[in-house]
A and B are shown apart, each in its own frame.
Chain A
């Protein structure tokens, strides 16, 4: 559905927005100027037709001058050929410019989106951002291709007709132009009616589609509740509403076109009547009369075009406002040149959280006064029940969010002072449900290591035991990955994520272990791969597997956003506190994974909600 704010249309002209929009024409100044010249030339050529007809009739046919008729015909042919060429050029140049601007704008938006802080995406549904990048940009394209140049062209055509008529006969020009106000009135009335009815049609169509979509998605609910007859009646009503507004529009069209033709006929009648008397008494020629009739018929298009431009302008202003709004949103912490070195310097891997408090919203503390340190090369497991704040710790360490109170330090430097991008290049992330991008297995492995060749990627894959199954895929490393890896099993995706992280060779590894159960063979592969991945680097693991927990150096137990226990596996078990109970639960759960009651925590709840949200937006 269209969110409410998409429907608002305001002014058709806003100087500030317009100036900024026209700025995008800048790089194509030359082409635009050329298009204007072509448009003017095209108008001239178009206006030559009736004049040549007059020439042919008056000086060729009536004077029985076949030579003149030949010359006029030749000229006429020239005019036709030129009209063809100019018409072609005009569309080409303007559409080209429009398309290029569209790419420019879309790229500017996309580039900007890559720099916005992650928290921005918590607030804005993906669907809405998508609309900016797609629909709004399209609307602006319309402005550039159909708006700017053709307004000039239309005005010029009207003026041109006026001049051409005036040169032939001023009095008759007056007669012909007397119908102009009528054309304007009829067209404007029609346009405003149609605009209103078009808006109504859109609302009704949206309503009908929403009803249809809802009923198709919830069909089994409808059926099981025996609601078919009532829903059919409702659909009939909605459908009838849609039909009726359309019939209204059909009515307007049915009236408009005949009325417009009637106005045209009125002009012709007037010219025949008034001009005919002139032919007899003041000796204007028959050719002039014919030319006048033809000129009058050319009034209609530019006027109808111009009245349409208003709509385009109005929509373009609304769209550009939204597009610029997004472009003006402040990006993530700027890249300071001094910190640029961080990109190159490997980290030692000393990580410290110092009295960190964090809330996604207001005072709703997810983390409270968290302090712990990870020595270089140390492996730490974060353990806790769902909602204890483990994932949030990972989010903060990666710099997706900044803590409200306290500091996070890496190698003794405040995370807030470092360039997040350079920092993340030295860090690795493995998610519970590894996010695979569309592309191939190879391109997914290369995600964090763009410079590695296939052999090096394969080596990484081999070390974490991903190579075997990749080799068995239909096209090996070139196998396409579709729909976020829907065709791969959970275990396979895990192994891929390990290989991906190993290939990137991070100094600090953050790993959110998957809870889902896999068969024993894969389980063994995963464990062994994980051990290899954690070797020799600082690791922060959100651990679910018993074997992983036993493998780490130290365990931090989070409970309701606080650090409640810390120590080695044996120490904590001995304490018989929270960890002890968690461990028992895990142990039971590990044996009977299917019986686990705790639902699997999605890697980033807000993110998952967003994905679900946006898929609904798109539908």
Chain B
């Protein structure tokens, strides 16, 4: 975590504040009401000690019961009126901070949606999550309680101190000595406690990681009879955790009593010095009582001030981290004037394509050229890391290829509007990502309108239909944590159904039948073949049975094409493809024995 001072160097606070301003500006009316309420509620509440002063002085001199009753009513009335505005103050200011949090989170999410795969590969989800939750909460605390208590403190301080000065400047001077100390110690301790607390959290994460490692490696632990060692090491970590906690407790243990002590000292000074003033006849007993009440009223705002400073420091640091995401320019995006043709034939042309992942040293693809006429099926074969998936992911621009290397219908893919391009592609990635919605919604994902019949048809082609019907709620069964867990094969078939339903001219299948048994695969391929008619398809597979009927088979190795031709061509060639074929035959024989 960057320290506040480093944050300030990196990004001038003023710049950051300027970026925060639009969020506040949207609620300026509400904020104005809120701040007005802060002022009004304090203005009213601070009249209370005056009533007390009059009551006490009257009591001293003799007073009628009716007059006393009126004072009591006044006190109650003042509390009532100030309460109403206090309610408004909270509702407005704190409420607005919730609205701003909402706006900021929406903006953050919308921006994240624009960032490319590359960004998410380099930033851990947990970290981004923490921006959208913890950091946003810190910003909200700054804009809600941070603003409210700041205004409140200033208002109370100005009015109280004004009244106190009117009663006795001399007394005010002395009794106010301990109060700045309160603010300073809240600010000082608050920051320290916060940092210690974060260190404890970090250590706790270590502790948890240790437990997880131990549990995940339970067999190794047992096999090496390591149990006692593990216990010892865990104990040592626990001791360290204990020490860190005790350190926090020491600070914390001083902090709270210290606050009571300091405000107690102020009260004591008022009692002692004020008493002398009364005895000396410089102030009345009523004024004395009023004075002590004003002093008591200052207590909380003074504590709040120190806290507010911490809120602002943390809030700005957090906003800076959020702003970093908002300021990240999306690297894959539509260019101005991007094309959105009304028709797409699906002819793909790849010319001398070399591609290196951002930050990588070795190119993933080297000088690759391939021409796929519209409606043809091309199969990609090759070992892990040969570049098959990379090639597939460049077509829908998950990463941008170099200019002038990939063409769709004769136009560089970079020229197309991004969402137009992607909606012309049905892509089944290697790893199927399913969302925690129903099976039906997962199949329909990305297709706005699709009838239940169409969904079922797609599921039938993917050989998923009969299994889905056996789920507890059929197509309405929830997938994931709160529903059922699909097997690897079922997941892949869901993704295939998704692609079928998408009805796009370009079909990309990235090794998407690997978890499906041969028999089911046969069925899927049969259904897909009629679907692929008229569509351009690129499919990656390790199985000869999957690729043998493709119009062309391309063997990739280390990012370059090493063999190409039809199934029969390649078998005749006796190269790598032929070897793969032989190996799979053997496996089938073995399976049968």
Contacts and interface: CB of A to CB of B under 8 A. Distances in A.
B586 A597 contact: no
Interface string A304-338: 00000000000000000000000000000000000
Interface stretch (B76-84, B336-344, B353-361): B76-84
A99 B249 contact: yes
A134 interface: yes
A85 B446 CA distance: 65
Contacts of A250: 90-91, 94-95, 98
A208 B143 CA distance: 22
A594 B384 contact: yes
A33 interface: no
B223 A269 contact: no
Given A220-B398, A424-B225, A594-B384, A279 B59 contact: yes
A605 B227 CA distance: 23
A23 B220 CA distance: 34
Contacts of A459: none
Size range of the interface on B?
A: 35 or more
A265 interface: yes
B222 A398 contact: yes
A213 B126 CA distance: 8
Given A235-B106, A257-B90, A429-B220, A214 B436 contact: yes
A85 to B, nearest CB: 8
A595 B132 CA distance: 43
A221 B583 contact: no
B65 A277 contact: yes
Main secondary structure of the interface of A (DSSP, over half): helix
A73 interface: yes
B261 A450 contact: no
A44 interface: no
A276 B217 contact: no
A1 B436 CA distance: 12
A64 B220 CA distance: 83
A594 B242 CA distance: 50
B589 A581 contact: yes
Interface residues of A, number: 145
A247 B98 contact: yes
B234 interface: yes
Contact of A84 (B214, B257, B396, B481): B257
A61 B285 contact: yes
Interface string B215-230: 1111111111111111
A594 B106 CA distance: 45
Contact of B120 (A213, A216, A435, A438): A216
A115 to B, nearest CB: 7
Given A212-B109, A224-B425, A258 B86 contact: yes
A607 interface: yes
A428 B220 CA distance: 10
Contacts of A66: 276, 279
Interface stretch (B2-10, B427-435, B519-527): B427-435
Interface in B398-421: 398, 419
A1 B483 CA distance: 13
Contacts of A581: 586, 589-590, 593
A431 B231 contact: no
Contacts of B516: none
Nearest to A103: B238
Contact of B109 (A76, A77, A235, A559): A235
Nearest to A236: B106
Nearest to B62: A280
B113 A134 contact: no
Interface string A98-128: 0110110011001101110010010000100
Contact of B257 (A53, A87, A126, A280): A87
A219 to B, nearest CB: 5
Interface string A248-281: 0011011101110110111011101100110110
A588 interface: yes
B335 interface: no
Nearest to B420: A226
Given A56-B271, A450-B229, A224 B396 contact: yes
Contacts of B584: 597
A218 interface: yes
B220 A614 contact: no
Interface string B55-90: 110011011010011011101101110111011001
Interface stretch (B11-19, B162-170, B205-213, B308-316): B205-213
B345 interface: no
B83 A595 contact: no
Q: Chain B contact residues: over half helix, strand or loop, or mixed?
A: helix
Interface in B118-154: 120, 125-126, 128-129, 132-133
B212 A107 contact: no
Interface in A444-487: 447-448, 450, 484
A360 interface: no
Contact of A424 (B114, B223, B278, B429): B223
Interface core residue of A62, A225, A450, A619 (most chain B CB under 10 Å): A225
A102 B129 CA distance: 29
A597 B271 contact: no
A525 interface: no
B95 A247 contact: yes
B110 to A, nearest CB: 6
Contact of A437 (B91, B213, B250, B253): B213
B471 interface: no
B324 interface: no
B583 A69 contact: no
Given A66-B279, A224-B425, A231 B83 contact: no
B174 interface: no
Contacts of B222: 118, 398, 400, 420-421, 424
A417 to B, nearest CB: 18
A345 interface: no
A253 B134 CA distance: 22
B106, B223, B253, B279 — most chain A CB neighbours (10 Å):
B223
A550 interface: no
B75 A265 contact: yes
Most B CB contacts (10 A, CB to CB) among A215, A251, A272 go to A272
B257 to A, nearest CB: 3
A578 B593 contact: yes
Nearest to B418: A223
A339 interface: no
Query: Sorted from nearest, which 8 A-B pairs have the closest CB atoms?
Result: A594-B383, A225-B446, A265-B79, A87-B257, A258-B83, A273-B72, A254-B90, A429-B223
5 contacts: A61-B285, A88-B257, A262-B83, A429-B223, A435-B216
Given A111-B231, A226-B419, A607-B219, 12 more contacts: A56-B272, A80-B261, A83-B257, A210-B436, A221-B429, A225-B422, A232-B113, A250-B91, A254-B87, A265-B76, A424-B224, A595-B583
Interface of B: 48, 52, 55-56, 59-60, 62-63, 65, 68-69, 71-73, 75-76, 78-80, 82-84, 86-87, 90-91, 94-95, 98-99, 101-102, 105-106, 109-110, 112-115, 117, 120, 125-126, 128-129, 132-133, 204, 207-231, 234-235, 238-239, 241-242, 245-246, 249-250, 252-254, 256-258, 260-261, 264-265, 268, 271-272, 275-276, 278-279, 285, 288-289, 382-386, 396, 398, 419, 422-423, 425, 427, 429, 433, 435-436, 445-446, 448, 481, 498, 502, 514, 542-543, 576, 579-580, 582-584, 586-587, 589-591, 593
Interface of A: 1, 49, 53, 56-57, 60-62, 64, 66, 69-70, 72-73, 76-77, 80-81, 83-88, 91-92, 95-96, 99-100, 102-103, 106-107, 110-111, 113-115, 118, 121, 126, 129-130, 133-134, 209-210, 212-228, 230-232, 235-236, 239-240, 242-243, 246-247, 250-251, 253-255, 257-259, 261-262, 264-266, 268-270, 272-273, 276-277, 279-280, 286, 290, 385, 395, 398, 400, 420-422, 424-425, 427-429, 431, 435, 437-438, 447-448, 450, 484, 504, 559, 577-578, 581-582, 584-585, 588-589, 592-599, 604, 607, 610-611, 614, 618-619
